[in-house]
Amino acid sequence: MAPAETTSRAAAAAPGRLRGGLIVVEHYWSWYRRNWRATVVSSVLQPLLFLLAFGVGFGALVNGTGRAAAATGGIAYLVWLAPGLLAMSAVQSGAFESTYPVLSGFKWQRVYHAMAATPLTGGQIAGGHLVWIACKMFASGAIYVAVIALFGGVAGPGIVVSLLVAVLAGMSVAALVMAYAATIENEGSAFNALFRFVIIPMTLFSGTFFPIERLPAFVRPIAWISPLWHGTELARSAALDAWRPAAAAGHLAYLVALLAVGTGLATRRFSRRLAP
């Protein structure tokens, strides 16, 4: 067979960008529907434990002081906290799903290399995996919202918008972490440092548990660059129907920009690492 004819047939067999990404999503769904029990603790039970510990347990103590209204604007602490916890769980899930599972795709299970042996491109593999992470975040977040409602933490239908915002915040972090993970050859302490010095401080100081106005003035600019703070503010505004259009537009633009940058970097680094 002539080389030109072989190239022509290969090009004809190559899936489009969208279809290629969906093929990757189908792969992960096929695995997940048989092995979902292995991830249920991290994706569902852990956020629920956060809700019970901080929203119900700690929240009762906060409300009992009589000073919670000054920080929450007169709103019950559980209702005020719920959208922040929703965003936090999505960001934590997105960060975790973009570290060891990504490195495993390159190094241990080498799933990415198997995909790259087909007409799929590195960009389609990265994009498909990112979409799958978003699907998992949405599913676990929906369960989380249902539990929040059972405990009386839902103020109105805006919590549905909060769920979408949480997924966006999680994706913005996941894309950046995925791009970073694609450069790692030996995990060593790289991921431990990422969680210890980036993810955990971001969780604690992004307005999830208390307004950042309670932080020292010199620390607040660090919170302002955190995608979790932008996600929390936007999710809380939606859940409490307390929209400030200019601020909401700024938060949304920041998260979308991070997602675009992270996706672009991940696509480039996947393509480079999977190049024959």
Tracing tokens 């906060």 back to the chain, one arrives at: 62
pTM: 0.89
CA angle 151, 140, 223 (to 5 degrees): 85
DSSP label at residue 175: H
Report which of 122, 164, 129, 137 is spatially closest to residue 22, judged by C-alpha positions: 129
- Helix, strand and coil in the chain, % to nearest 5: 80, 0, 20
Segment 29-75, tens digit of pLDDT? 999 999 887 777 666 777 677 777 776 766 666 666 666 666 677 78
Segment 118-169, tens digit of pLDDT? 999 999 999 999 999 999 999 989 988 988 888 888 888 999 999 999 999 9
Cβ neighbours for 252, distance < 8 A, ≥ 6 positions apart: 168, 234
The ranges assigned to domains in the chain are 18-273
